[in-house]
Amino acid sequence: MRGRTRPVSAEVIAERFGTSVRTIYRDIATLQSIGAPIRGEGGLGYQVEDGYFLPPLAFDRDEMDAVVLGLRMVTARVIRRSGSQQSVCWARSAVRIRKALRASTGHFLQ
């Protein structure tokens, strides 16, 4: 939703992530309840408020080791439920971390 100038419907989001519209409604409501600046409602569409972004994070080597270890532990536990939303999320996170580390250090922590 970030970067869009117009609201995005739950149907479009659900199709993009391969889930149900009902799940999108629940997830958006949860995000809004914890303070995510998302405007809109079911039937009209959703949009992240202007100016909202996640700040870049910089980890030292020990912190990144901890992040990678935690990711591996959670992935090992979640992998049992292969195909779940969580396993997809963890896999995407691992890919992002791997890409970022390769770009900055030339390799991925083993």
Instruction: Write the pLDDT tens digit of every residue in 23-70.
Output: 999 999 888 888 888 888 777 899 988 766 666 677 787 888 888 788
pLDDT score, position 95: 78
List the Cα angle 81/71/2 in 5-degree steps. Answer: 90
Q: Is the dihedral of CA 20, 26, 31, 32 positive or negative?
A: positive
pLDDT score, position 49: 82
pLDDT score, position 1: 73
pTM reported for the whole predicted model: 0.47
Amino acid, res. 1: M
pLDDT score, position 10: 92
70 φ/ψ angles, rounded to the nearest 5 degrees: -60, -40
